[in-house]
């Protein structure tokens, strides 16, 4: 990793939760590693009027209290916050952008930070159009400026197209960074190296050898303080349309022509465009939605989703989704991709499982049911990779058992994995858009999920309730069981029969 050019990072909505929990801690980590530009300033802007110096002092205390900065780093933290300034500013007031331009020029002249400016939209999405218009009208959206946009990127295909058109009216696509922190995780990026740098995997990475792929992101927390947002989003919009579909593209894409951003993002968009559309019958057959109920979870009494703040008592919003989808191209035709995501589940875990087809009957029977080659890519909590395969149990008979080879990134000496936000902010400052969503991919994702959401809205049924601390609704568990049953190796008796028939 190298230092980007000198520049100013301007954070809109800097007095909000995202800046406090993610952005400033991520920038501090870059500061500790010596990866920030040589001449650099963070200009935090927000509506809240805060006395000079108070913003920095408050954020320093919060980062120390939350553990985002160790006590022994207090001196370094104070040094970092000398790079941070706060400017009270109403982003909805078109007349205020002249004052913002003046403040940026003042910071630039004092710091020598150069002409580049990176704008980070950490505000609610409803504020995006006014901010983009203000930046354009004030001349701040110049050729040396770029913009980072937080998800959600629209709420459906139409709104995504409108947002993309708005962004493109002020910034070219290569200077628009739609950030999804999942793509900043080291293990996600490593999928491409794992696949395309190892000849033991790529030749068998297709429908002839892979039976199914599972992508799961489970959370133990509820919606917390985001009830109002979740009522308009739900798990499909919040997780499937972006996080899980993007993970799928890394698993399913073709080898890019080169490692440039355009080449990699071309292949990601192609995968999304090949997703098989679902009609009403397919939605009924291949999707399960659930909503968490209240109860004891980990020894703590938890509220049901409908009892969370800012949630309607009769809400039909899903907090869990299980789904089976297909990619209709030559490599993946007929291979089901299973997606599972939800809140208030038994464990916090993100994982991709590639399930390979069974061995021929003679040997598949030796392994017993449920034994088969599986490659697991664990994204969290412990980033790593596990490969499961069969080996003979010591002794005279040909009895086999399943074993695994496991790799954990923590085993790499003297390597600290960068926080996803740190990595992505650094990439944006460097102008590298490889790990950011492109407009055509965003729209392809919405094109796939819109009919599913529309069918759910028309349906008289509500999401199935599931207990907090469980694996999700019964219907979803059954989908997993059916998938597992169809993936079982042949029982030993059937394998022997097949073998004898073959000999006859």
Q: CB of 225 within 8 A of CB of 16?
A: no
Q: What is the pLDDT of residues 132-160, one digit of tens each?
A: 999 999 999 999 999 999 988 999 999 99
The per-residue pLDDT for 429 is 96
Helices and strands in the chain: count of H runs, count of E runs: 17, 17
Domain boundaries, the chain: 7-150, 186-417+438-486
For the question of residue 243 being annotated catalytic, the response is yes
Cα separation, 237 vs 490, in Å, equals 39
**Window from 18-27, 108-117, 367-376, 423-432 with minimum mean pLDDT:** 367-376
Give the CATH fold of the 186-417+438-486 domain: Dihydrodipicolinate Reductase; domain 2 (3.30.360)
Q: CB of 184 within 8 A of CB of 417?
A: no
Give residues with Cβ within 8 angstroms of 75, minimum separation 6. none
Cα separation, 201 vs 189, in Å, equals 16
The yes-or-no answer to whether 7-150 and 186-417+438-486 have a common fold is: no
**Could you give the residue ranges of the DSSP H alpha helices within 141-290?**
157-170, 186-196, 227-235, 245-252, 261-273, 280-286
Q: What is the pLDDT of residues 97-141, one digit of tens each?
A: 999 999 999 999 999 988 899 999 999 899 999 999 999 999 999
**Window from 170-179, 243-252, 290-299, 429-438 with minimum mean pLDDT:** 290-299
Q: What is the pLDDT of residues 186-214, one digit of tens each?
A: 888 889 999 999 999 999 999 999 999 99
**Could you give the residue ranges of the DSSP H alpha helices within 9-125?**
17-18, 24-32, 54-66, 74-81, 97-111
- Whole-model pTM over 0.75: yes
Give residues with Cβ within 8 angstroms of 49, minimum separation 6. 88
Give the CATH fold of the 7-150 domain: Rossmann fold (3.40.50)
- Residue 6: count of CB within 10 angstroms of its CB: 18
Name the catalytic one among 209, 243, 455, 483. 243
Q: What is the pLDDT of residues 252-275, one digit of tens each?
A: 999 999 999 999 999 999 999 999
């Amino acid at each position: 990793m190298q230092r980007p050019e000198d520049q100013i990072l301007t954070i809109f909505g800097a007095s909000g939760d995202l800046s406090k929990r993610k952005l400033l801690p991520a920038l501090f980590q870059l500061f500790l590693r010596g990866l920030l530009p040589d001449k650099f300033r963070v200009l935090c802007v927000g509506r809240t009027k805060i006395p000079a110096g108070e913003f920095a002092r408050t954020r320093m205390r919060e980062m120390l209290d939350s553990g985002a900065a160790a006590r022994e780093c207090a001196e370094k933290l104070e040094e970092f916050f000398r790079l941070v300034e706060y400017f009270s500013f109403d982003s909805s007031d078109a007349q205020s952008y002249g004052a913002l331009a003046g403040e940026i020029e003042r910071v630039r002249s004092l710091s020598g930070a150069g002409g580049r400016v990176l704008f980070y939209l950490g505000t609610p999405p409803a504020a995006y159009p006014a901010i983009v218009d203000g930046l354009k009208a004030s001349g701040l959206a110049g050729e040396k400026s770029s913009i980072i946009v937080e998800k959600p990127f629209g709420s459906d295909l139409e709104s995504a197209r409108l947002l993309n058109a708005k962004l493109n009216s002020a910034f070219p696509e290569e200077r628009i960074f739609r950030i999804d922190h999942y793509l900043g995780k080291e293990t996600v990026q490593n999928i491409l190296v794992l696949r395309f740098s190892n000849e033991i995997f790529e030749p068998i990475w297709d429908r002839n050898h892979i039976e199914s792929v599972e992508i799961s992101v489970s959370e133990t927390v509820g919606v917390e303080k985001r009830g109002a947002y979740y009522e308009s989003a739900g798990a499909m919009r919040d997780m499937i349309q972006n996080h899980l579909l993007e993970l799928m593209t890394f698993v399913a894409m073709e080898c890019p022509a080169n490692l440039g951003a355009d080449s990699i993002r071309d292949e990601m968009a192609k995968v999304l465009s090949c997703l098989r559309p679902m009609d009403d019958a397919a939605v009924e057959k291949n999707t399960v939605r659930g909503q968490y109920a209240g109860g004891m979870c980990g020894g703590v009494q938890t509220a049901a989703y409908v009892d969370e703040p800012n949630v309607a008592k009769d809400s039909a919003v899903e907090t869990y989704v299980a789904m089976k989808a297909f990619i209709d191209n030559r490599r993946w035709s007929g291979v089901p991709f299973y997606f599972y995501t939800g809140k208030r589940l038994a464990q916090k875990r993100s994982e991709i499982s590639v399930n390979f087809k069974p061995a021929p009957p003679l040997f598949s029977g030796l392994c017993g049911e449920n034994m088969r080659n599986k490659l697991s890519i664990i994204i969290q909590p412990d980033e790593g990779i596990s490969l499961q395969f069969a080996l003979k149990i010591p002794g005279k008979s040909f009895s086999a058992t399943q074993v695994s080879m496991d790799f954990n990134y923590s085993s790499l000496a003297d390597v600290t994995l960068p926080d996803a936000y740190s990595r992505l902010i650094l990439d944006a400052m460097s102008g590298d858009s490889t790990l950011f969503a492109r407009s055509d991919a965003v729209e392809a994702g919405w094109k796939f999920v819109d009919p599913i959401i529309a069918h759910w809205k028309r349906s008289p049924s509500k999401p199935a309730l599931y207990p907090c601390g469980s694996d999700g609704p019964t219907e979803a568990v059954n989908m997993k069981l059916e998938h597992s049953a169809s993936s079982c190796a042949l029982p030993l008796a059937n394998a022997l029969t097949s073998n004898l028939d073959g000999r006859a």
